[in-house]
Structure 1
Amino acid sequence: ILHSVLLGLSMGAIAYLSTSLVVYISYLLTMVAPMTLWLFFQQTPDGYVLTVLYIFMICVGSMSVKRMNVLLNDALYYRFDNETLIEDLQKLLDSVSRSNKALEKISTTDELTGVSNYRAFRVRLEEVWREYQETTSPISVIRLNVDYYHEYNAAYGQELGDKNLCLIANLLLAEINHPSQTVARLNGAEFALILPGVSCENARLLILRVQKELDKLQIEHCKSKAGQHLTFSAGLSSQLATPMTSSRELLGKTDNALKLAKNKGRNRIEVIE
């Protein structure tokens, strides 16, 4: 019974002492070494057999603990290695996400003025059109063009011309009071505004305020045929969004309104409802 208990304790210790081979061997020698030596010095057949059995169990137990120790260390290593890998992967994904957002911003932002570009304008207008098909609120769009902009650049230089485009963009942004509203530079000296839920009259008053703010600045333009200062022409239109209509119809009316303003001498606002 004593031999069974000692051997059982020796083998059972493998489970909870496998983290350290040195600790297990120390425990094993403490438990069975005295009994092994005592049996050996009895110099009896049974004593020799039991001595060999104890030595065999010591070897088997030691090899088992060594193997389990290796497996446990590998498991811990790979666990922490995987955690590190997951952290690195998450950092990489976050970096890619930030890069994608930056690229998206670059692809939808006008480099000079910082407002939306033509691509973003068209995408946003389609989004608004779909959203407002379930409402009875109109969508207003304003298009404006700086009068005789190329002549201004020829007389005063591209740098000053660009500076004034940024100024006009900021005047337009100052009138935006809702996240759904958009200011965009379409090309050259042409800008546009998307005003969801804004009536035609309120849109007219908005662009009129911008026109007055620009007039206050009295920016000299000696090559303009519309006056002595920098001005713009604007056309606007409003329309209800329905499944039977498209945003192109609204853009077409807005474009015609802008052409009408230019044909009437510029430096004016025209409305086509």
Structure 2
Amino acid sequence: NPKVGNFIADSHTSKNKGIFESIQQVLCDSNIYSGIIIDDNSKENVNLLLSQRIPYSQMVALCLKGDSIDNWKSVFINNSPIYNIIPYSPSFRHIRKGRVMLDDKFDKLPRNSDYLNCDDEFFSDDHIYYEDDGYKGFSDYSIVGKEYANSGFAPYAVAIHIVYPTSISDKSLRIHHFVSDSNFGIDDPANKFYEALTKLVSWNKTKNLNTLAIRGFESMYRNETYPGLGVIKKLSIMHHIEWMGNYLDEVSK
């Protein structure tokens, strides 16, 4: 997302020149779609892509604000992109073609320890009903939420967020929050992780989730290793993506 983070600034430094040029070459691949964030600069950005011989059929529009719909109309009313990623809201009913639902399903609480009071809750069934609602696809912000954070911090509690199907017959997703117990300071995050991890491993003895990420968590439990908070979040996202991929493969057969 070019609107947040330091990628654009960092890409102009000499040490990153080669990486930036490689990315530019990859973006010219016909298998890569170009994303357009709909705002006051959309027409200029679309014209730039057209000048680079990138057709509308390789563009994806992200129209995330109701105030941006007029900008979308000024650019795409006659030539629709292949996909329009929009929030699940009646405000975007003007966009009819190639609609992809985007919704933030993660109920982000102020502190990790707050999940101790609600360790299990409904997550999403968009993957089941998106076609019935007139969408070509669905998307969400996984277990992170849409709020952007440029850096992390030392938490009082460690939480692992894992999505899982409600039952064998009901493939709607719930989310379980595994939270550490010794949450009185920021010391010893490795022990906090192991407390949360122990709950996850015990819980999964009945759920039998078997993704690469879950196997990674179980390996860390057996070996008593601590990968760092960033890897914990990455594994939770990996698990979500793999489960969803397996589900889509199954329903497409």
Larger Rg: 1
Normalising by structure 1, we get a TM-score of 0.22
Structure (1/2) with the larger helix percentage? 1
Normalising by structure 2, we get a TM-score of 0.23
Greater relative CO (CA pairs within 8 A, separation 6+) = 1
